[in-house]
Chain A
Amino acid sequence: MDLAKVSNEKKLDLCRWYFRIGFALLPFVWAVNAIWFFNEAFRKPEYAEQKHIKKYVIFSAMGSAIWLVLLITWVTIFQLNRANWGETADYISFIIPLGTP
Chain B
Amino acid sequence: MTVVEFFGCTLLAFGPPFAMFIFTIVHDPVRIIILIAAAFFWLLSLLLSSLLWFAVVPLRKDLAFGLVFAVLFQEAFRFLIYKILRKAEHGLKKITDDSATLIENKHILAYVSGLGFGIMSGAFSLVNVIADSLGPGTMGLKSGTEMFFLTSSAIGLCFILLHTFWSVLYFNAFDNKNKFQISFVVVSHLLVSCLTLLNRYQYYSACIVPLYVILAVTGCYAFKVAGGSYASFKVCISFK
Direct contact of A and B (CB under 8 A): no
User: Interface residues, chain A, CB within 8 Å of chain B?
Assistant: none
User: Interface residues, chain B, CB within 8 Å of chain A?
Assistant: none
